[in-house]
Amino acid sequence: MKRFAVVGHLAATSGAFSLNDLAGSAGRMDVLCRCINSSFFLSHDLRRDVECYLVLCGEPDPEKTILFRGSEVRYLSPDERSSAALIKKALSIPCGDEFRESTPGVFVRRGGLSRLLAEIPFAVLDEAGEDVRTAQALPEACLLSDHHNFTAGEQAMIEGYPRYSVGPRSLHADHAITVLLNEMDRRESGWIS
User: What average pLDDT does the chain have?
Assistant: 97
Average pLDDT rounded to a whole number, residues 38-60: 98
Kindly report the CATH class assigned to 1-193. Answer: alpha beta
Mean pLDDT value of segment 173-193: 94
The three-class DSSP label of residue 27 is coil
CB-facing half-sphere around the CA of 83: CA atoms within 13 A: 26
Strands 141-145 vs 123-131: parallel, antiparallel or unpaired? parallel
Residue 163 has pLDDT above 80, yes or no: yes
Mean pLDDT within 125-135: 95
Q: Which of 97-106, 122-131, 133-142, 184-193 has the lowest mean pLDDT?
A: 184-193
pLDDT at 111: 98
Is 80 exceeded by the pLDDT of residue 118? yes
- In the predicted model, is pLDDT for residue 129 greater than 90? yes
pLDDT at 112 over 90: yes
pLDDT at 192: 80
pLDDT of residue 156: 98
- Give the rounded distance of the alpha carbon of 48 from its chain centre: 15
Domain boundaries, the chain: 1-193
The pLDDT of residue 12 is 98
Q: State how far the Cα of 20 lies from the Cα of 161, in Å rounded to an integer.
A: 37
Task: State yes or no: 19 annotated in a binding site.
Answer: no
How many whole angstroms separate alpha carbon 114 and alpha carbon 105?
23
- The identity of residue 174, as a single letter, is D
The pTM for the full model equals 0.97
| Beta bridge partner(s), residue 109 | 65
Q: What is the pLDDT of residues 50-103, one digit of tens each?
A: 999 999 999 999 999 999 999 999 999 999 999 999 999 999 999 999 999 999
| Rounded mean pLDDT, 111-131 | 97
Let me know how long the chain is.
193
* Sign of the dihedral through C-alpha 186, 122, 70, 58: negative
